[in-house]
Each structure stands twice: as structure tokens, then as C-alpha cells.
Structure 1
Amino acid sequence: MRPALAALLLVAALAGCREEAVPRPDPVAMTKEAIGHFCQMNLLEHPGPKAQVHLKGMPNPLFFSQVRDAVAFRLLPEQQGEITAIYVSDMAKAPWADPGATNWIAAEDAFYVVGSAQAGGMGTPELIPFGTEPAARGFADQHGGSVQRLDDIPAQLVLAPDGPAGTTDAQDDADFAARLKALSANRPEEKTP
């Protein structure tokens, strides 16, 4: 066998063994039928940025009521599917009350405002995505927070328990204690026979 033919056959055989790359799916327009993966609520009922996660072998994406939830989803150890794309709302192109149905950008291309006083659609801390760094910095100047890229956002930030945006751990603890005390005070008296 000629060396050139043998090399060509070897390359063809190795190419056949290689795992096929999954093409990146396009973002899907958000409609009134879009339901949040974690909350199971209609996305259009909540203001602020949204996200969609595409998984290999699934024809439809998973939608998320908050971007933070989608970022957390990709970090969860029990998440088994291969993520082929994550898209987030570009808040530089939409008002907070209506994040837009089609202004999606790839999550890894966005600039995120992290730690602002602005709560997400579910009333908890949010990662607010922008298509440009100047837009993100302008939002951070008005609402607080810092500008970060997706891979720079600490896992503990998105996986931590939710409290209202802008609250401290001490305020969260005090709020929990007050709610627990109120529940205990409102319990009906147990009657003893």
C-alpha cells in the first residue's frame, strides 16, 4: 500500500472515531407558553432578564425566570444533560418590565451586573446581562454592583440561598427569626383533655 493512501485511510478512520460536535442551536423566541423550569410559572408574568438553556437531544430549551437560575442550573451536580447553548436577555435592548421575546445573546458573550440592588423577576438577587460593557457599567453606576463575565461569577454566589436583593446575611437571619416567631404566635392553642 502506498504511504499516502495509508495516511489518508488512517485520517479517515480517526475522524470516524471522533465524537460528533453538536451544532449550537439558535435561541427560541419567548412566548406566552414559556414556563420557568424551576418555578413552573409563566415567564411573561415577571419583569427582568430571562434565560434559556438548550440541552443535547431536547427539541425545546428550558426557560428560566431569572438569569441567576440558569447559571445555577449549569453548575448543579445533578444536572445530567449536555448543555449546547445558554442564551440570556440583552437588557441593553429592553426595558426592565418587558425584557423582550427575541433579544437573546449567548451567555458567554454577555457582561453581567452582579450584586446590584435591582431584584430579578422572582424578587431575589439577579445577574443582569448586557450585550456591551458600557451598558453594564452604566447600569451598575445607577444600581450598584460590579461588572463580570460569566466564567468570573463565583459559583457560591449563584448557588447560595436566596434572600431579597440588597439584603445582608444578618438581615436575612433577622427576617427568618421574625417570620418564625410570627408563625409560632399564630398557632392555635392546643387543648389538653
Structure 2
Amino acid sequence: MTPALSRRRLLCAACALPLTALVGCSKEEGGAALAPAEIQAATTCELDGMMLAEYGGPKAQVHYAGLAAPVFFCDTVEMFSALLRPEQQRTVRAAFVQDMGKADWDQPRGHWFDAKAGFFVVGSRRHGSMGPTIASFAAGADAHTFAERWGGKVLRFAEVRPEMADLRGGAAHDAKM
């Protein structure tokens, strides 16, 4: 083997190592099933820094590619606003919301499920941390029962439109601010 050929192979191998690492990361990120994280006492909202544990109503978390930990939202309206904005460019690995058919509305803990599989009640009289909210449910029957009691329309994840995730006036509904 000639010295030039050996150097060429060495350079090719050196260039290939970072690419191999990137491919390995993407397979690990894309192939592994993500699990929702639990809200801790110090968990804050991505948009406004509010402490999630201090507010009622459905919460959300989004796992973005390239981030080790999820970002949390103190309200599902904020999650939909972030995900449905045309300028949203980050790759979403997973989005989880709380099943309000099982979680305590005033102090929701646990009961996370894949947001894309859920049922959402838009336009109810029930408020979340930032006022009017989009209630999340894993089961359609629970969403319909909620809508009968509190009003609103039951939609699937893909049916929620950007204009339904209106963040204007949220602070006006927050008695703790």
C-alpha cells in the first residue's frame, strides 16, 4: 500500500466518524419510544416561567429533537400555540398531555398520554392556568361527557386550528399574577 493511499483512507475514516455518530444519534432519537416526564415542584412553563404545580387545568410537554429534557407548558392552549405556529421549525419527537378524564383538574399530576391520539374540548366554560383552555382526554367518551357538562366542541388533535390556541388575555384570567 502506498503512503498516499494510506493517508487518503485515514482522512476518509476520520471524516466518517462524526457522520457515523450523527446517524447513531438520529436512530436513537427516532427509534426509542419516549416516555413523558413528571411535573416536579420546580417545573416551569416554557413560555412564561410559571410554576406548573401551582395551577390547575391540563398541562402539556413537548420533546424536541436535540434537547435532553422536555419543555413544559402550563396549559394545552400554549402547547397548541407553539406547535401550530407557522414559524415553528423545531423537530418534535413527542408531545404529551394529561388525561383530564383521570387527573384531578385542580391539581393535575400524572396521567400523560400521546397528544396526537387524544380528544380535545375547545370552547368549554372550564378554565385552566391561563383562562380558557383546551381540555385533553385519552378517551372520546370522557371528552364528550366533559363537553356535555362544561360546553365546548370535541375535536381530534389534527382538527385543532391555530386560531383556537389564542393566548391573548391569558394574564387577565390569572388570579395569582
Q: Normalised by the shorter chain, which TM-score bucket?
A: 0.7 to 0.9
TM-aligned CA deviation for residue 160 of structure 1: 6.0
**The one of 42, 46, 49 aligned to 2:58:** 49
SS in 2 for 1:22: helix
2:123 corresponds to 1:115: yes
Gaps of 5+ in 2: 1-22
**The one of 155, 158, 168 aligned to 1:151:** 158
**The one of 60, 66, 69 aligned to 2:78:** 69
Distance between the aligned counterparts of 1:120 and 1:160, measured in 2? 12
| AA partner of residue 22 (structure 1) | G
| AA partner of residue 138 (structure 2) | G
Deviations 1:32-80 (A, max 9, x none): 1210011101100100110000000101000000011011111223333
Which structure: larger Rg? 1
Moved over 4 A (4+): none
Distance between the aligned counterparts of 1:75 and 1:55, measured in 2? 14
TM superposition score normalised by structure 1: 0.70
2:30 corresponds to 1:22: yes
Aligned to 1:5: none
Q: Is the 8 A contact 2:78 2:167 kept in 1?
A: no
Distance between the aligned counterparts of 1:96 and 1:76, measured in 2? 27
Gaps of 5+ in 1: 1-15, 166-193
TM superposition score normalised by structure 2: 0.76
C-alpha root-mean-square deviation of aligned residues, in Å? 2.0
Distance between the aligned counterparts of 1:153 and 1:76, measured in 2? 12
> What is the aligned length?
146
Aligned to 1:95: 104
What's the % identity of the aligned pairs? 32
Distance between the aligned counterparts of 2:35 and 2:168, measured in 1? 32
Q: Is the 8 A contact 2:122 2:164 kept in 1?
A: no
Deviations 1:71-116 (A, max 9, x none): 111122333321100000100111211111x210100111111100
Distance between the aligned counterparts of 1:159 and 1:150, measured in 2? 16
